[in-house]
Amino acid sequence: MIFFKSYRLMMSLVLAFVAVATLVFCWYAWSVYDNGVVDYQAWRDKDAVKQMFHDDWQWLQYGDWDKISEDDFDVDFMLDNRSSSQHSAHSNLILKVLRQSGKTVGLLAYYPKSAYWWQMLFLIVDKDHRGKGYASKLVQYFIDDSVARGAVKLTTFTRLLNTRARSVYEGKFGFKDIKHYDDKYMDLVLYPSKK
């Protein structure tokens, strides 16, 4: 009888240990794996990405602020079709998100304009998570991944007034200002060196 009681106690302790170890492993896997730049998953990221676009739509759309509206760009179309164009579903857009502590805090969207030229279409960091180096982490990911895919020329586009973005592109990564449009927009280029 004592054997059965000690056996039950031992099995209860083993099961409790396994349960705690499983919970710790799941927490660790979730918190570590879910941090960093990962593939966009609509079920997990779409609402957060749409909120970021809603919060910053004027900075993200081409046009004069008094002549554009939030409805001029269909975020759902871009995300659902992974398209760099609003006019046809090219399915050429690479979508990455930056996850931190179980939250989607940034978006990176880029695509090949040719085999050797890659364009960053969107870089967004959630307004509540700025100033933590997340934009730089996303730009570095864009550079590294594009070069790994064969890029020798990287480009992006921003408003001249977007000093936050310019300080990252030009200041930190060395993108060069190559062209202005209507004294409101600018093209930037980077010819990355191979490591």
Q: What is the pLDDT of residue 42?
A: 97
pLDDT for position 179: 93
pTM recorded for the entire structure: 0.80
What's the pLDDT tens digit per position in 15-44? 767 767 666 555 555 544 578 999 999 999
Q: Please check whether residues 18 and 106 belong to one and the same domain.
A: no
Report if residue 135 sits inside a domain: yes
Range 172-181 average pLDDT: 94
Q: Quick one: 72 and 142 in the same domain?
A: yes
Tell me how far apart the alpha carbons of residues 91 and 77 are, in angstroms, rounded to a whole number. Answer: 11
Which of the residue ranges 28-32, 39-43, 107-111, 189-193 would you say has the lowest mean pLDDT? 28-32
What is the DSSP code string of 40-61?
Answer: --HHHHHHHHHHHHHHHHHHHS
Q: Would residue 54 count as lying in a domain?
A: yes
pLDDT at 141: 98
Residues 56 and 146 in one domain: yes
Would 195 be classed as within a structural domain? no
Q: Residue 154: pLDDT above 90?
A: yes
pLDDT at 136: 97
- Tell me: the pLDDT tens digits for 155-175? 999 999 999 999 999 999 999
Residues 20 and 48 in one domain: no
For residues 97 and 104, the answer to whether their CB atoms sit within 8 Å is yes
Question: From the CB of residue 31, how many other CB atoms can be counted at a distance below 10 Å?
Answer: 12
Quote the domain boundaries for residue 2.
Answer: 1-33
Judgement on whether residues 20 and 56 belong to the same structural domain of the protein: no
Instruction: Return the pLDDT at 51.
Output: 95
* Between 33 and 107, residue with greater pLDDT: 107
Both 122 and 182 in a single domain? Answer: yes
Each residue of 34-86: pLDDT tens digit? 789 999 999 999 999 999 988 887 777 666 656 666 677 889 999 999 998 88
Question: Are residues 3 and 62 located together in one domain of the fold?
Answer: no
pLDDT of residue 92: 94
pLDDT for 84: 87
As to burial, measured by CB atoms within 10 angstroms (0-12 exposed, 13-18 middle, 19+ buried), residue 87 is exposed
Number of structural domains (the chain) is: 2
Whether the per-residue pLDDT at 140 is higher than 70: the answer is yes
In a domain, 132, yes or no: yes
How far from chain centre, in Å, is Cα 60?
Answer: 14
